[in-house]
Amino acid sequence: MKRKIPATMATQHPDNASAAYWNNKKFISAADEIEECYRVFKEMGCTEYMWDWEGKFVDEAVIERFFQQYYEFFKTHPLGKDVFLTFRIPNVDEESGFRLARAYMSILTAADLADQLKFHNPPIFEVILPMTKSAEQLMNIHRTFNQVAHFKREVFKTKHDHAQSIHVIPLFEEVRDLCHADEVLEEYFNLYKKEFGRAPEYLRPFIARSDPALNAGIIPAVLSSKVAIQKFHKLGEKYNVPMFPVIGTGSLPFRGGVNPENIQETIAEYSGIRTMTIQSAFRYDYPPAQVKNAIELIEKTLPELAFAELNKKEIKDIEAMNRLFGDLYKATVEAIAETINRIAYEVPGRRERMLHIGLFGYSRGVGKVRLPRAISFTAAMYSLGVPPEFIATGRGIQEAGRKGFLPTLEKRYLNLRADLVHAGKYLNKENLSLLAKDSSAFAEIERDVHLLEDYLGEELGPKKTKHFLHRNLVSSIYLLSREGENLSEELEKAAIIRRSLG
């Protein structure tokens, strides 16, 4: 390997409840993201930053601004060598292609500027492809990038051509896609070799952690990530391609449970991962010194941990549990979607996002159910006092016990108890009981809670003063929502207590 593999990737996910320490703003504009990235590198010690072109507004002059405003930093910490800027590009199967063309030109012209300044070249050489489902999608990025590079070279008479050095990071965002990602990547390796005469130098397959939970629940999201990690490494061994998996984790258990307070435990949970995302709540809802220490620990520890190998029975059990938990979860969420969307509408924005193409859609004879993005979904459920970690989990564990799957679940989901107990601190049983009176689906979630209390051997609910304050705030949110009143003040106060919007 000729390059450094970063262990921490700061992202622009808008899940922070509190203001950024460096500008005292909760809302980070596209213009603010230039300074944010610099501070992530210089002050927090992250080694990579995701520059997101998918579903949001973006500053296309990012490299010019970096080199102009922070010349001395990037002169001594070369971009593309010591620290990394990685574009998450639009998927043309889901979003218009014109934004992809602009991303390509930004990458290519960044190389020209770096050459002019005698900086490390190229400064950007990797892109993340969201919602990856096929090998052809990955190859299409290589081909179209090469075509744009050729066009630029011919028309503008530039001497640089980094077309074949572009690396594509496939991002898998659904449970089934994670469990069968090796099939996509095996085809990709074969197509790549046919196209370029060699295998890729390395690959950084990306495991989404929020969207699988949004679409199937917390148990399938965790278990499918374990299957994916193993399959990535096994495939790398087969083709002699070094694999460096990435995982996209938020602060609350439903979205990954990675935060500065429990970083040692979550590093162990995702052993075998080479890069972990550091989202906005991780960075801004905890003291800066604690954040920096946690990032240092990740950078030091993550490269040393090997994946925990699953046997054939465990993989079979996980596939069965994914169906079991997923079916229960989907039926419940579909029935409460209207309530979720009503609360999610009040969740404050934290970035300049555009309308996003959602993943959550289920044919039920008449139309489809649509949910907000994972952060707003999680924020809505916590704001009701009904953490989404519990949806279908109690019923699923009961059924998993009957079918003999619990040994696999408990062995492979290391933080199962800790995650459920943590989410339980933000449970408002009174709200859930009131919701259950009007909805059989919420009644099923109430049953989930009772079953989980039996399973855990302890009562779920507030433990400390801050948890009781959170309970009171979400009681107000429930009552205000019934009256059609504004929820924003109580919603934000509750989010600050749990140290994450969603």
**What domains does the chain contain, in order, with CATH numbers?**
8-304 (3.20.20.60), 312-498 (no CATH)
For residue 56, pLDDT beyond 90: no
Integer Cα distance of 5 and 446 in angstroms: 45
For residue 312, pLDDT beyond 50: yes
Query: pLDDT tens digits, residue range 180-189?
Result: 999 999 999 9
pLDDT of residue 384: 98
Do residues 466 and 332 lie in contact, with contact meaning Cβ atoms separated by under 8 Å? Answer: no
Give the mean model confidence (pLDDT) for residues 372-378. Answer: 94
Query: pLDDT tens digits, residue range 317-357?
Result: 999 999 999 999 999 999 999 999 999 999 999 998 765 44
Q: Which long-range contacts (CB under 8 A, 24 or more apart) does 464-469 make?
A: 464/425, 466/497, 467/425, 467/426, 467/497, 469/497
Q: Which two tokens stand for residue 116?
A: 């002019």
- Per DSSP, 198 falls in state S
Q: What is the pTM of this model?
A: 0.95
pLDDT band at 163 (very low <50, low <70, confident <90, very high): very low
For residue 162, pLDDT beyond 60: no
**Distances from the Cα of 245 to the Cα of 107, 254, 273, angstroms:** 23, 20, 5
- Per DSSP, 42 falls in state I
List of residues 6+ apart from 463 with CB closer than 8 A: 425
| Residue found by looking up tokens 């009957």 in the block | 402
pLDDT band at 151 (very low <50, low <70, confident <90, very high): confident
Parallel/antiparallel/unpaired status of strands 246-248 and 206-208: parallel
Integer Cα distance of 71 and 83 in angstroms: 14
pLDDT band at 403 (very low <50, low <70, confident <90, very high): very high
| Residue found by looking up tokens 């059989």 in the block | 440
- Indicate the average pLDDT of the chain: 93
pLDDT of residue 3: 92
Cis ω on the peptide bond leading into residue 122 (within 30° of 0)?
yes
Integer Cα distance of 118 and 121 in angstroms: 8
Query: pLDDT tens digits, residue range 242-265?
Result: 999 999 999 999 999 999 999 999
- Per DSSP, 123 falls in state S
pLDDT of residue 25: 97
Do residues 191 and 139 lie in contact, with contact meaning Cβ atoms separated by under 8 Å? Answer: yes
Give the mean model confidence (pLDDT) for residues 420-429. Answer: 98
Q: Is the dihedral of CA 413, 474, 428, 337 positive or negative?
A: negative
